[in-house]
Structure 1
Amino acid sequence: MAESKVAARGKGPKLPVIMTANDLLDGEVVFLGAEGWTFDPHGALVAEDEETAERYEAQGRQDLAANRIVDPYLVEVTVENGEVTARHFREAIRLKGPTIHPEMGKQAEY
């Protein structure tokens, strides 16, 4: 997949984006994937257009109301050769996992 074009949204982050949140029970970072919320950042669905981003936001609000997740929001990403990378430092850390022990957590698996 070639690098995605960044498109402006009316408000909020620029496209492309992924939806992230925290799992309600253990606080772990989760990502909206094809089968629901996943701990695997590589399973995150990427919204390349406004309509899809709005659908992801609606899913986040629905799952927040159902007490499945907390703090859902869209994250700006770039996509190069099928690899999703967060555009902001804080979100890059959330995608990879804790920085204190890189041999542990999600980052050790990838």
Structure 2
Amino acid sequence: MKALTANRLIDGEVVFWREGQWVERFADAQLFDDDAAAQEAEAHGKNQPTVVIDAYLIDLVDADGIWAPLSYRERIRALGPTNHQHHGKQAEGGEVVEALLHASGAARSSGRVNLIKRK
């Protein structure tokens, strides 16, 4: 399972792809179990250079029945700043935020690795 992420240019906010639009919450992200559909969305996201930067796919892992990013880096990006749990997106709470906080896995997302190799 994968999700598409990027940073919005106007304010640097971490955003996620959902059916042709960028949304701010990981809970609202479109999840892909089909590689072809995921790559098509990634190509579409990369063709929006005035809207987002560095669009790439992230790998997901099942965390207590809810999908969460596999890599620690991507979980931090989805939650917001790590300085305090009452800041950022994690302050909203909910079962998706709890899954993100308790998910495990330290591998880098393959999409991020590919992005690093291209630079």
- TM-score range normalised by the length of the shorter chain: 0.7 to 0.9
TM alignment of 1:1-110, pairs within 5 A: 16-34=1-19, 36-64=21-49, 67-79=50-62, 83-110=66-93
- Provide the rounded CA distance (Å) in 2 between the counterparts of 1:59 and 1:79: 26
Structure 2: which 5+ runs fail to align? 94-119
- C-alpha displacement at 1:80, in angstroms? 5.2
Q: Deviations over 1:38-91 (max 9, x none)?
A: 111101111101111111111211222xx1001111100024566221111101
| Structure-1-length-normalised TM-score | 0.77
- C-alpha displacement at 1:35, in angstroms? 5.6
- Provide the rounded CA distance (Å) in 1 between the counterparts of 2:15 and 2:89: 11
- Provide the rounded CA distance (Å) in 1 between the counterparts of 2:20 and 2:42: 16
**Percent of pairs with identical residues:** 37
- Is residue 46–residue 54 contact of structure 2 (8 Å, CA) maintained in 1? no
Q: Deviations over 1:6-44 (max 9, x none)?
A: xxxxxxxxxx11000001000010000136101111011
- Is residue 20–residue 74 contact of structure 1 (8 Å, CA) maintained in 2? yes
- Provide the rounded CA distance (Å) in 2 between the counterparts of 1:49 and 1:33: 15
- Is residue 42–residue 84 contact of structure 1 (8 Å, CA) maintained in 2? no
Structure number with the bigger relative contact order (C-alpha 8 A, sep ≥ 6) is: 1
- C-alpha displacement at 1:105, in angstroms? 1.1
By percentage of residues, which structure has more helix? 2
Give the number of equivalent residue pairs: 93
Which range moved further: 54-63 or 19-28? Answer: 54-63
- Is residue 85–residue 92 contact of structure 1 (8 Å, CA) maintained in 2? yes
